[in-house]
Amino acid sequence: MIRFTALATLSAVALTAASSAWAEPKAEVLHWWTSGGEAKSVAVLQQEFSANGGTWTDMPVAGGGGDAAMTALRARVLSGNAPAAVQLKGPAIQEWYEEGVLADISAVAEAEGWADVLPASIAGHMKCDGTWCAAPVNVHRVDWIWANADVLKANGIDMPTTWDEFNAAAEKLKAAGIIPLAHGGQAWQDATVFEAAALGILGAEGFHKAFVELDADTLTSDAMVKVFDQMRTLRGYVDDNFSGRDWNLATAMVMNGEAAFQIMGDWAKGEFLAAGKVPGQDFLCASTPGDGFLYNVDSFAMFDVGGADKEAGQQLLAKLIVGKNFQKVFNLNKGSIPARTDVALDEFDSCAHLSAQDMADSSANGSLLPSYAHGMALRGAQSGAITDVVTAHFNSDMSSEDAVKMLAQAVANSM
């Protein structure tokens, strides 16, 4: 009896000690993954977090490209109530770090050996003054064309490999009463199409000069005039109701054969897959004309929120995000490829294989480039200035010559 009481007391003490050291992981997660394919993907993270004892508070902010989510984030931080984890990427990570509001997740990154499994180009985006300040989820490619396989076949069209071929195919489709290009008139979608056209027309070096170095000569070059010419041509291939349309509704137009093509990052593939469509059969993927690869890496940054439960939640989340199995399952749904280099791609489709191959090749030949339209290349002020001009041109009858002048001016003013 005495022995029993002593044992019971001992285990009660052990239990109390353990429970005060172990805080239940909690995280409020701000993201903009609200379309069909996106919601399926983020659910994978949510489930894995719960399965590991975490309590997830969802803060979805609808709006493709994340502009609305970033506005919501600013409001939350300014009111002193930042969410614990935020979908944040590219130089915006460093911008928030400079505000002194990000948590350091180096302990998790080092314990998990992130440096050994992430390509240096991706790891670079996740670091702030040498510390780890974000966790990468994937690599999305931006410069893709998606097509309805039946529509192309019925009209005797192959996937275009040059912009001239694209334009010829679009004219043919238009004459046949099919909308050539499914597009949503939102600034970030205009920018997405613009940077794909720019990569093809300027080439990888020209793209780097224009959208990474902000070189004034390249911004006002004849080649840049041609990029705006191509935008004007593309404007003639969208339907009358394009203004304000969400990107996933544009993808649906390609799925149901109302439109033939969409120029969009491979989150569009997530939509096709979520609707049960099969690549190579129902829909086709090809890189947009020209060499190079525009990458867009989704990542999460943790905000300094305090509280043992929230800190435990941030650490758990960071660990899971870069976890090998999560990177596979998440990206199978999302349309992207894993950020980790050691995830086997056997279960991935032909578009993902093409992406991985092109990423490796472009990395080797210097044409792997950060997407400006998806916040990987420039700080917000500069990318915003460029997008304003792109949108103003697309939605008016502004000449290409006036557009390049405006572009150079807007970039100069944003510095």
Q: Residue 383, SS3?
A: helix
Our finding on whether 296 is near ligand BGC (CB under 6 A) is: yes
Least distance in angstroms from the C-beta of 271 to ligand BGC = 9
**180 close to 259: Cβ distance less than 8 angstroms:** yes
Cβ of residue 381: shortest distance to ligand BGC, in angstroms? Answer: 18
Closest-CA residue to 351 (of 241, 250, 271, 409): 271
Nearest to 67 by CA among 395, 337, 303, 373: 373
Closest distance of CB 35 from ligand BGC, Å = 7
Contact between 293 and ligand BGC per CB under 6 A:
no
Judged by beta carbon, residue 268 or residue 343, the one nearer ligand BGC is: 268
Nearest to 219 by CA among 11, 415, 1: 415
Structure tokens at 92: 């915006």
Q: Tell the smallest beta-carbon distance from residue 217 to ligand BGC (Å).
A: 29
Shorter beta-carbon distance to ligand BGC: residue 26 or 374: 374
**Minimum gap (Å) between residue 138 Cβ and ligand BGC:** 8
Distance CA 69, CA 67 (A): 5
Nearer to ligand BGC by Cβ, of 140 and 209: the residue is 140
DSSP string, 194-225: HHHHHHHHHHHHHHHHHHTS--HHHHTSHHHH
Structure tokens at 234: 């593309």
Residue 49 identity: F
CB of 38 to ligand BGC, least distance (A): 5
Tell which one of 26, 28, 32, 122 touches ligand BGC (CB under 6 A): 32
Rounded to 10 deg, the angle between the 380-394 and 91-98 helix axes is 130
For residues 120 and 341, what is the distance between their CA atoms, to the nearest angstrom? 11
How far apart are CB 21 and ligand BGC at their closest, in Å?
Answer: 36
Per-residue binder mask for ligand BGC (CB under 6 A), 252-291, x = binder: ---------------x------------------------
189 lies in the site for ligand BGC, by CB under 6 A: no
Q: What distance in Å separates the CA atoms of residue 169 and residue 175, rounded to the nearest whole number? A: 10
Contacts of ligand BGC in 115-174 (CB under 6 A): 140
CA distance to 65, 125, 238, 320, per residue, from 298 (Å): 11, 10, 29, 15
Q: Which is nearer to ligand BGC, 140 or 340 (CB)?
A: 140
DSSP three-state, residue 393: helix
**Residue linked to tokens 């290409």:** 400
Q: By Cβ distance, which residue is nearest to ligand BGC?
A: 267
Residue 234 or 250: the one with the smaller Cβ distance to ligand BGC is: 250
Residue 298 binds ligand BGC, judged by CB under 6 A: yes
Nearest Cα neighbor of 101 from 72, 130, 76, 64 is 76
Closer residue to ligand BGC in complex, CB, 29/406: 29
Size of the site for ligand BGC (CB under 6 A): 10
Q: Is 374 in the site for ligand BGC (CB under 6 A)?
A: yes
Nearer Cβ to ligand BGC, position 59 or 403? 59
CB 339 within 8 A of CB 139: yes
Smaller CB separation from ligand BGC, 38 or 311? 38
Locate tokens 């050291």: which residue? Answer: 21
Least distance from C-beta 201 to ligand BGC, angstroms? 23
Residue with tokens 């807007």: 410
* Interface of this chain with ligand BGC, residues 50 to 89, rule: CB under 6 A: 64-66
Min. distance of Cβ 77 from ligand BGC in angstroms? 20
Q: Which residues bind ligand BGC (CB under 6 A)?
A: 32, 38, 64-66, 140, 267, 296, 298, 374
